[in-house]
Amino acid sequence: MNPFSDIKTIREALRTKKISVQEVQQVYVDRFKKFDDKIGSALEIFSNPDVPQNSDGPLYGIPGLIKDNICQKGRIASCSSKILKNFVAPYDATAVERFKAAGAYSLGRANCDEFAMGSSTETSAYQLTRNPWDLERVPGGSSGGTAASVAAGLIPWSFGSETGGSVRQPAAFCGVVGLKVTYGLISRYGLIAYASSLDSIGICARTVYDTALVLSQVTGPDGKDSTALHDVKKIDYTAQLTGKIRPGMKIGIIENAFNAEGIDTGVRTVLDEGVKALEKLGAKIQFIKIPTMDHGAAVYFMISRAEAASNLSRFDGVRYGYRSNNGEDLVDLYENSRAEGFGHEVKRRIMIGNYVLSAGHADAYYKSAKIVQELMRQEFLDAFKEVDLLFMPTTPCPAFKFGAFKDNPLQMDLQDYFTAPINLAGLPAISVPCGFVDGMPIGMQLIGPHQSEELLLQTAHAYEQAHDWHTKYPEWLK
């Protein structure tokens, strides 16, 4: 079996009994053994995965890799942090429960930035994940293990999570499809919180079809997450994937993003080709401005850090997780456990969050950010009165080298420019491979109005099928 097969192909081989579920499992377990010491995408490959015995579920026998901040019952969920090193999830996340019910299973845990905070997976307390296309480069982040494992043909699909672009950016850097859904389309129950008003579980796969296949099984209302959309019907997201785009489709290029300073010229050329290709498929192209997007990263920094400070206050060394042995009283226990358990990036974000929420500063920072967030959301909604989908780069550059932003963390944070505004507006977006610059994959980003996943996937699929980017993989991983 070709490990780079898409789920559609594997599923057909399973259905016609050309291959067994156990054989599929073995193929990917062997792939991890053979290649993952070089890539480092997985924190753990289960020796005893919960492989379904029999199922008529649509994902029967298809293994996935789950980001380490998503709870899998009886498994460690460490968020790639020392503070949760030994934390065993007492329940399945709703999305995990759902893919299991559809016959799929998890083969292990994907490495990520600590508590999903980062754009390169370098903040993981455990290991680096390397970009399968060039081991000297980062896979992106925070869902670096998610994207790298799929790109390397170690797994057919993988769950990541998004707060400001953490699925789309690594998907673009690694040359796979990355989907961020409408806020609330997939339940957040069991996704360990970073910034709850922005967080969502996302999917990486080799093709748009595969992404749609997995998505179809994991959406829907959830009594355990009151922010999960309650009016969502179960949809087969593959039904619209005809290879054609909807007649009369209008796509708006976000002009200020497309012409933003600092976009790599190679990336720009590849994206220009992408626009032409969409036009060739029948889309009408027009330019749209989302002026407040230029402040999107700043808004994102304020809101995400504020929510993180609040969410991460629960890690105190008392009930679970890491406890420091230093200190004498309870306050020492809190302060030392957190000092020794959290990495630098997480500490930095918690402190920023507490600062911007503190009396005397909340108006200037947090509340201002909430107002600009609302302005931005409104600009996006206005844009969708004129066009069906929006278009812009996923990243300004190809995957960068390790340590590139070591001395300038703010520049690293600005990786979020093209992605975070979408989380702030709660919109769905997809990153699709659209070419290469110097041997590194590039992603283009399509964005839709709330709950437009069908249209988004249909359009991305039509583009994908007109090209062969999704069939490419690094030679050494054959």
Partner 1 sequence: MSRIKISPDEAEKLASEIAAVLSYASSLQEIARSAHVSGEKKTCMNVMREDVVETFDAQLILAQAPEREGDYFVVPKIVKHE
Q: Which of 17, 319, 385, 478 binds partner 1 (CB under 8 A)?
A: 319
**What backbone phi and psi angles, to 5 degrees, belong to 309?**
-60, -40
| Binding track over 206-245 against partner 1, x by CB under 8 A | -----------------x--xx--x---------------
Q: Which two tokens stand for residue 33?
A: 């053994």
145 and 451 Cβ atoms separated by less than 8 Å: no
Candidates 115-123, 162-170, 270-278, 406-414; binding stretch for partner 1 (CB under 8 A): 406-414
Q: Which is nearer to partner 1, 46 or 342 (CB)?
A: 342
Residues 162-189 as b/e (b if ≥16 CB within 10 A, e otherwise) read bbbbbbbbbbbbbbbbbbbbbbbbbbbb
Contact between 314 and partner 1 per CB under 8 A: no
Nearer to partner 1, 37 or 331 (CB): 331
Binding to partner 1, residues 421-450 (CB under 8 A): none
> Of 323, 437, 465, 467, which lies in the binding site for partner 1, with binding defined by CB under 8 A?
323
Strand partners, 286: 252
Interface residue with partner 1 among 13, 327, 467, 472 (CB under 8 A) is 327
367 sits near partner 1 (criterion: CB under 8 A): yes
Range 332-351, binding partner 1 (CB under 8 A): 332-336, 338-339, 342, 344, 347-348, 350-351
Strand residue runs (E) in 234-358: 250-254, 284-288
Report which DSSP code applies to 115: G
Contact with partner 1 (CB under 8 A): which of 4, 35, 258, 301?
301
Nearest in space to 109 (alpha carbons), one of 69, 75, 149, 65: 65
- Binding residue (CB under 8 A) for partner 1 from 212, 306, 309, 446: 309
Contact between 368 and partner 1 per CB under 8 A:
yes
Which CB sits closer to partner 1, 119 or 292?
292
Which of 126, 121, 134 has its CA nearest to residue 174? 134
Q: In what order do the strands lie in the sheet with 284-288?
A: 42-45, 105-110, 63-67, 157-162, 200-205, 177-180, 429-437, 440-447, 389-393, 250-254, 284-288
Using CB under 8 A as the binding rule, whether residue 320 contacts partner 1 is answered as: yes
Do the Cβ atoms of 171 and 144 come closer than 8 Å? no
Q: Please pick, from the candidates 20, 242, 286, 313, the single residue that binds partner 1 as defined by CB under 8 A.
A: 313
Active site (annotated) includes residue 401: no
- Could you give the 3-state DSSP secondary structure of residue 417? helix
CA angle, 390 then 437 then 206, to 5°: 65
Does the footprint of partner 1 cover residue 328 (CB under 8 A)?
yes
CB-count burial class (<10 Å; 0-12, 13-18, 19+) for 289: middle
The binding track of 164-203 with respect to partner 1, each residue x by CB under 8 A or -, is ----------------------------------------
- The Cα 148–Cα 41 span in angstroms is 6
Indicate the residue among 25 and 368 with the shorter CB distance to partner 1: 368
Among this protein's residues, is 67 annotated catalytic? Answer: yes
Considering the complex, what minimum distance in angstroms separates the CB of residue 451 from partner 1? 12
Q: Does 372 bind partner 1 (CB under 8 A)?
A: yes
**Cis check: omega of the bond before 149, within 30 degrees of 0:** no
Catalytic-labelled residue, pool 166, 187, 200, 337: 166
Binding mask 56-95 for partner 1 (x = CB under 8 A): ------------------------------xxx-xx----
**Is residue 166 flagged as an active site residue?**
yes
Give the contacts of 461 (CB within 8 A, at least 6 positions apart).
207, 208, 209, 212, 241, 243
Q: Which of 205, 269, 253, 233 is nearest to 388 (CA)?
A: 253
Provide the angle, in degrees to the nearest 10, between the axes of the packed helices 453-465 and 265-280. 100
* Contact residues for partner 1, defined by CB under 8 A: 86-88, 90-91, 223, 226-227, 230, 292, 295, 297-299, 301-302, 305, 309, 313, 316-323, 327-336, 338-339, 342, 344, 347-348, 350-352, 354-356, 358, 363-365, 367-369, 371-372, 374-375, 377-378, 409-410, 413
The catalytic residues are 67, 142, 166
